[in-house]
Chain A
């Protein structure tokens, strides 16, 4: 279980990406050299939902709270927010990464 998120930085223009990324869309010339960094995984909720009808892949997990998280460096990802009371969750609420496994990033609300 990783507690940080791997990010890639364009060596030419410093724009950050979450993998997978193949070319920098910010650079006009085709550029595909990236350096690896890690971020702590703190951010805030951009939007959220509760998945009640899951795909087969996560059928044992539902219902779960799913959100688009805005991380540091302008990065956004889809992640799960682990919480007991879904009704307490709001847009803009701060969250931090608690685990990252098999492409599923899990966050907790920061009180």
Chain B
């Protein structure tokens, strides 16, 4: 396989973007990435679009040429990739495989979602469809309720506390306040989070849940052997691992760990020849606060069961030993589901290029992104490094 690098990134702001259509979002992120890569549109040989459910959100199908048209790409193959909340990282992986195999030299990947077109009830229903419709949704489950049950079990098995969940929310809001692309750029206090009684799915309150956001993110991928022709600040993709788990969450032996994350991470570490302690900065899939606590365990940053206490003690803060979600995460940067996996890579690229402003992790050279779909049926872990 040929090696692959990122030569340009672009992103819209994430948020409740009333005036912008899905087409607008794709165009903005895609064009910014192309500009930054300093290439011409005609140099792009294939286009990959990560999107979860434009059919339900905006009644649009056949999305890849729809998105390509918005960017003004002509004639090239256009491919839509769907993997629930991991659609974005899946789209990147397909692009990497195609370049790695020698099919193309340069491809554009965009992740995008327009969610704020419907009521919360409708969005809740659409997101629940990322789980098993027959055995989860029709049985009464929602996405937050699945993670409510996961949180409760984690508390039962490992003594994780409300305070630990709250610490994740406070940290991610604090980071998001430093990110001009974030959906919510506002700090919250520990007391506010602890006193919140707006339960969504016990023990999770609104502060434990990620946001319903619109947004798009984009990356230009290029064969590493050709990057000297383009951008000055190249980021190498060292590895990308992907794995799957039971489609229905209740069929897993232990709901406090995500097997697909563990397996995808092991693949990624092995190919990169790295271990968890080599990672300088990570973006992880915090669709709920408990998901970040489990992610840092599954990724090997801390021992199983210690994710809560470690989050509470500041291990994952901007100045901690392993900063997690400097962008603000899904919790504060926002979660336009199809965009999220690409947005995580955009943040890691900015961190490794030393362009992350107030939230910059000093001297970060190696970064990791972790994106998963549904209640963990699909997981992707990507490791990136600053090129010297």
Binding site for B on A (CB under 8 A): 18, 20, 46-59, 61, 64, 66-68, 76-80, 86, 91, 102-105
User: How far is A20 from B145 in the complex, measured between Cα atoms in Å?
Assistant: 22
Task: Flag if B201 contacts A51 (CB, 8 Å).
Answer: yes
- Told that A68-B255, A78-B141 touch, could you supply 20 new A-B pairs with CB distance under 8 A? A46-B153, A47-B156, A50-B148, A51-B141, A51-B142, A52-B201, A52-B202, A53-B124, A55-B137, A56-B122, A57-B125, A66-B140, A66-B141, A66-B201, A76-B250, A76-B251, A77-B139, A78-B135, A91-B156, A103-B139
Contact of B124 among A47, A55, A67 (CB under 8 A): A55
- B306 close to A (CB within 8 Å): no
User: How far is A49 from B200 in the complex, measured between Cα atoms in Å?
Assistant: 9
Task: Flag if B152 contacts A48 (CB, 8 Å).
Answer: yes
- B150 close to A (CB within 8 Å): yes
Contact of A51 among B138, B145, B150 (CB under 8 A): B145
- B195 close to A (CB within 8 Å): no
Task: Flag if A51 contacts B140 (CB, 8 Å).
Answer: yes
A-B contacts, 17 of them at CB < 8 A, read A18-B135, A46-B153, A49-B152, A51-B144, A51-B201, A55-B125, A55-B128, A55-B137, A57-B137, A66-B139, A68-B149, A77-B135, A77-B250, A78-B139, A79-B140, A80-B140, A103-B139
Task: Flag if A78 contacts B202 (CB, 8 Å).
Answer: no
A20's closest neighbor in chain B, by CB? B134
Task: Flag if A48 contacts B250 (CB, 8 Å).
Answer: no
Task: Flag if B137 contacts A91 (CB, 8 Å).
Answer: no
- B121 close to A (CB within 8 Å): yes
Binding site for A on B (CB under 8 A): 120-122, 124-125, 128, 134-142, 144-145, 148-150, 152-153, 156, 199-204, 250-251, 255
Tell me how far the C-beta of B56 lies from the nearest C-beta in chain A, rounded to whole angstroms: 11
User: How far is A48 from B156 in the complex, measured between Cα atoms in Å?
Assistant: 11
User: How far is A59 from B124 in the complex, measured between Cα atoms in Å?
Assistant: 11
Q: Which 3 A-B pairs have the closest CB atoms?
A: A49-B148, A103-B138, A47-B153
Known A-B contacts A56-B122, A103-B139; A47 and B255 likewise in contact (beta carbons under 8 Å): yes
Contact of A53 among B120, B134, B153 (CB under 8 A): B120
Of listed B128, B150, B250, B255, residue having the most chain A CB within 10 A = B250
Known A-B contacts A20-B135, A50-B201, A103-B139; A66 and B121 likewise in contact (beta carbons under 8 Å): no
Residues of chain A within 8 A of B250, CB atoms compared: 68, 76-78
User: How far is A61 from B140 in the complex, measured between Cα atoms in Å?
Assistant: 9
User: How far is A88 from B26 in the complex, measured between Cα atoms in Å?
Assistant: 49
Contact of B199 among A50, A68, A79 (CB under 8 A): A50
Task: Flag if B138 contacts A54 (CB, 8 Å).
Answer: no
Tell me how far the C-beta of B158 lies from the nearest C-beta in chain A, rounded to whole angstroms: 13
